[in-house]
Amino acid sequence: MKVWLGLDVGSTTTKAVCLDESGRMVAHGVRPTGISGETTAKDLSKELLASLGVVAPIRIVATGYGRARIEEADKAVTEITCHGRGVSFLHPEARTVIDIGGQDSKAIRLAAGGQVEDFAMNDRCAAGTGAFLDVIARRLGMTLDELSAALGDACAEVGPLPVSSTCVVFAESEVVGLLAQGHAPARIAAGIHQAIARRTVTLIRQVKGEPPYYFSGGVARNQAMRAALANELGEPVVCAEHPQLCGALGAALVARALDGLA
């Protein structure tokens, strides 16, 4: 069996996707990046290849925050290209990709053929990213699943509680204050989702994003975030298939393209 490997070494998680000769996804995995992205990527690749009975892939393409450190890679490619490519492979109709990961968020406008036409990125500040949600969930004593599930009921009548701080550190203190005043954790969580959605919509407007909107990255797994974004945009936001793997899939597609394969 011939395999092309895409690695997405993110700040929070490392993802790997293996495509076979026909372009089918034959193996994939996600694990926490931990202290060494290189070691994690190596271990995850070894595990996936072993599960397929393959000794070495034909080519490796790396993307993500830690892509430059993957020595085995034939090429390193930006996450913008890879998320655009991965999402448009799965959803050729996508025109705008919203990618929110652990430490950054992006809006990517695609041309009709799936090429990146424009993008905007926030990688300076944790507000508007998964890390923000992780910190607040911990502070509210909820898991990410509980955080996203709690919102629907709590906010049906009273709406989100606005959180005004734009910085994670200040927002965390604000949340502590709101809890002390007796506000319901779910309403506070809804306010946080609304704040992140508003920041993301600013990025989308910067690139003149148009529907259909597709959501990739780990945070796309959060249904409350999908709903908050749709609410702010006034348009449906579709969760990409395998949202957390789209970058690694895009990298694997670039790996195939190096050998002239679509």
Residues in contact with ligand ADP by CB under 6 A are 10-13, 64, 101-103, 130-131, 133-134, 144-145, 148, 217-219, 221-222, 244
Least distance to ligand ADP, CB of residue 92, Å:
22
* Residue number with CB closer to ligand ADP (84 or 130): 130
> 31 vs 198, which CB is nearer to ligand ADP?
31
Question: What are 108's strand-pairing partners?
Answer: 97, 119
Q: How far is the CB of 8 from ligand ADP (least distance, A)?
A: 6
Shortest Å, Cβ 106 to ligand ADP: 10
Q: How far is the CB of 12 from ligand ADP (least distance, A)?
A: 3
When the beta carbons of 54 and 192 are compared against ligand ADP, the nearer one is: 192
Q: Which helix H or strand E contains 185, and what residues bound it?
A: helix 185-206
Q: Is the peptide bond before 212 cis (omega within 30 degrees of 0)?
A: yes
Q: Which is nearer to ligand ADP, 209 or 218 (CB)?
A: 218
Place of tokens 């809804």: 190
CB of 206 to ligand ADP, least distance (A): 20
| Residues linked to residue 145 through DSSP beta bridges, in sequence order | none
Distance CA 19, CA 184 (A): 46
Of 54 and 197, which has the nearer Cβ to ligand ADP?
A: 197
C-alpha span between 107 and 126 (Å, rounded): 16
CB 250 within 8 A of CB 83: yes
How many alpha carbons lie under 13 Å from residue 114 in its C-beta half-sphere? 16
Look-up: residue for tokens 């026909």?
22
